[in-house]
Structure 1
Amino acid sequence: MKRLPSKPPAHLDADALALYEKIIAGPRGNAMLDDAGGLIGPFNAMLLSPPVGDALQELGAAIRYRSVLSARAREIAILVVAGHCDSAFEQRIHEEIGRELGLTDDELAALRTGAPLDLPDPEEAAVLGVTRALVARADLDDAEYARLGERVVFELTTLVGYYTTLALQLRVFRV
């Protein structure tokens, strides 16, 4: 059962309302709103502490919209984390995005379950392998570290941490 009720904008204090408006004005737009106008997913909990919530949503926006990863590689990494954390909300949202980017149902199933997956694109294959290593061991051996440039490794470790944090919050708040 959901622990945190959705709050439409009329029920938010000034700081929470400013964060709400920032979230819906950004690239995520109205896709994160329920029928009553409240935020869904992890964004609803971010309103509990606007200073921390704003920093967290800004980090997410940087990961999603300003990293050097291709859109497909990024979604592959997000779906590896969602599958590892068994985060149904993340899986649902990001499988939809993955489908729009051309990921097949078989590829999505392999990302969800951790089954072997042979990706023909070298960048996507490297991102898959490195992300799976990060969620499994929270570390990389020298060969895994060398598969991608240092900037990509930094962005992937940040992505894994961010989406693991969201999965934890989604679980605790029963989203």
Structure 2
Amino acid sequence: MPRLPRLTPDDPASRALYDKIVGGPRGTSMLDQEGGLAGPFNAMLLSPAVGDALQELGAAIRYRSALSDRARELAILVVASAWDSAFEQQVHEPIARSLGLTDAQLTAIRSGRPPELGDPAEAAVVRVATALVTGRDLDDEEYALLPESVVFELTTLVGYYSTLALQLRVFRVTG
């Protein structure tokens, strides 16, 4: 049972945040059937200043990162699996499928196993993301798998989606 009701942007700060999310690159995809913000975005209205900074970080990760779309979705799904975040899986598995990931690859990630990938860079992203969510660190070999700029973006992505997964769990958001 959700702990947080659907919030309405009833003050200037929360209205500005709502409009920024809906008017940005995510568009209306983060709206529920009643026009409220879905998933983690609803809770962001509780603290518009923090919510805005958090959603802006997410927009940078999703839309301005050097990670390829497939690598980004693979990493997001590794985090979703580690946190058992049904919402993130529901949102990001269709995106991953549209980018050519197979059901077998998605099942492997959901099960905590490395998927069979033909691209060594994607396999390295999965290995590093998995190390970050399971060991919360990288050994020297894992650190060396990717350029440092990618390691920076990937650690930021893992931290951001872990934050969302934690908020989704605390507020009991399931779908």
Deviations 1:28-57 (A, max 9, x none): 000111121110000000000000000000
Cα drift, residue 13 of structure 1 = 1.2
Give the structure 2 partner of residue 7 of structure 1.
Answer: 7
Give the structure 2 partner of residue 132 of structure 1.
Answer: 130
Whole-angstrom distance in 2 between the partners of 1:61 and 1:28: 8
Cα drift, residue 122 of structure 1 = 1.2
Answer whether contact 1:8 1:36 (CA < 8 A) is retained: no
1:37 and 2:35 are equivalent in the alignment: yes
Whole-angstrom distance in 2 between the partners of 1:116 and 1:164: 19
Within-5 A mapping of 1:16-165:
16-165=14-163
Whole-angstrom distance in 1 between the partners of 2:34 and 2:113: 39
Moved more, 25-34 or 107-116: 107-116
Cα drift, residue 116 of structure 1 = 3.5
Cα drift, residue 123 of structure 1 = 1.0
Q: Which stretches of structure 1, 4 residues or longer, exceed 4 Å deviation after superposition?
A: none
Cα drift, residue 89 of structure 1 = 0.1
- Please tell me the residue identity of whatever aligns with 1:103: L
Unaligned runs of 5+ in 1: none
Whole-angstrom distance in 1 between the partners of 2:115 and 2:88: 20
Whole-angstrom distance in 1 between the partners of 2:91 and 2:7: 21
TM-score (norm 2): 0.96
Percent identity of paired positions between Structure 1 and Structure 2? 71
Whole-angstrom distance in 2 between the partners of 1:107 and 1:166: 23
Cα drift, residue 164 of structure 1 = 0.4
Answer whether contact 1:135 1:160 (CA < 8 A) is retained: yes
Cα drift, residue 117 of structure 1 = 2.0
Whole-angstrom distance in 2 between the partners of 1:165 and 1:64: 15
Whole-angstrom distance in 2 between the partners of 1:29 and 1:64: 13
Whole-angstrom distance in 2 between the partners of 1:166 and 1:8: 20
Whole-angstrom distance in 1 between the partners of 2:58 and 2:114: 28
Whole-angstrom distance in 1 between the partners of 2:51 and 2:156: 17
TM-score (norm 1): 0.96
CA RMSD of aligned residues (A): 0.9
Cα drift, residue 8 of structure 1 = 4.1
Answer whether contact 2:129 2:158 (CA < 8 A) is retained: yes
- Please tell me the residue identity of whatever aligns with 1:137: G
Whole-angstrom distance in 2 between the partners of 1:120 and 1:51: 42
Unaligned runs of 5+ in 2: none
Cα drift, residue 115 of structure 1 = 1.9
